[in-house]
Amino acid sequence: MNAALQLDRFTVSLGDLEILKGVDLTVPFGELHVLMGPNGSGKSTLCHALMGKNGYTSSGSVLVGGTDLAGLGVDQRARAGLFQAFQYPVEIPGVPLDALITEMRSNDEDAFDERVEQMSGRLGMDNFLSRSVNVGLSGGEKKRSEMFQLAVSAPRMAVLDEIDSGLDVDAVREVAELVESLRKPDLGILIITHYSRILRYMRPDRVHVLVDGRIVRSGGSEVAEQLDSDGYEQWRRDNVGRPSALPDDLSGEF
């Protein structure tokens, strides 16, 4: 079975600046992976390049559920099953949430409408459907709205960019529990974050560390725990300027 996300030697540049330098990353269906890294490591670039944002040039392979994303526009990538939740969800005055949800409707309308009804009640979104998208919502409410959109759109791969950013402790716990509740066998999830606090309320299958555009370590939750105690500085000193990412079977040595 194809992976939810498969990156092979994924290199991304912005103008003459090479930011991602050959990233290999696999997120199988049914798994939740976490990508951590300091400022400037390339985490945001990875999100932008995956979604096909203008201005970035890339090489290597990007597959979502076996579909090659090369040359596809943002809307085509979404139709291929790629979903992104944003660090700072955009407010869209004048566009009700239910109108946005309607635009996501799939060919199987009955199943889609059933998901909307089920998830709006489960996530407490009934009172938000007639309101403009994200307008007047708290940080936690905006993130809950994005989890609602994720649930009803039923993607194959969800990239959640710093969904804990700007949230208090209670909201971080709520969002983490929402993500855990949405895990299912036909969905892969990649959470991108600076900090390990959200992982206290989750069960990640794999944690990856991105430094200077390369994945320099992959492992279990112990990787996040090490970051908590030691920070990124040692890995930054050891890996800046390395010619390539370290394979998983060697990463534990560094």
Q: What is the predicted pLDDT for the residue at 254?
A: 26
Per the prediction, the chain carries an average pLDDT of: 87
Question: Quick one: CATH architecture of 5-251?
Answer: 3-Layer(aba) Sandwich (3.40)
CA 163 to chain centre: 9
- The Cα–Cα gap between 21 and 19 comes to 6
Average pLDDT over residues 43-50: 93
pLDDT in tens, 186-222: 999 999 988 788 888 999 999 999 999 999 999 998 8
pLDDT in tens, 167-185: 888 888 988 999 999 999 9
Q: What is the predicted pLDDT for the residue at 238?
A: 66
Decide if 240 contacts 248 (C-beta within 8 A): no
pLDDT in tens, 87-114: 888 999 999 999 999 888 876 778 888 8
> Nearest to residue 209, comparing CAs of 179, 189, 185, 231?
231
Q: What is the predicted pLDDT for the residue at 39?
A: 86
pLDDT-based confidence at 240, cuts 50/70/90?
low
Q: Give 119's contacts (C-beta < 8 A, 6+ positions apart).
A: 125, 148, 151, 152
- The Cα–Cα gap between 234 and 2 comes to 35
Exposed/middle/buried for residue 216 (C-beta within 10 Å: 0-12, 13-18, 19+): buried
The string over 153-180, giving b where at least 16 C-beta atoms fall within 10 Å of a residue's C-beta and e elsewhere, is bbbbbbbbbbbbbebeeebbbbbbebbe
pLDDT-based confidence at 239, cuts 50/70/90?
low
Q: What is the predicted pLDDT for the residue at 26?
A: 97
Percent of the chain with pLDDT over 70: 91
What 99-104 contacts at long range (C-beta under 8 Å, 24+ apart), as own/partner pairs, is 100/133, 100/149, 101/129, 101/149, 101/152, 104/149, 104/152, 104/153
**More confident call, 120 vs 251:** 120
pLDDT in tens, 133-150: 999 998 889 988 999 999
- The Cα–Cα gap between 39 and 184 comes to 31
Q: What is the predicted pLDDT for the residue at 149?
A: 93
pLDDT-based confidence at 242, cuts 50/70/90?
low
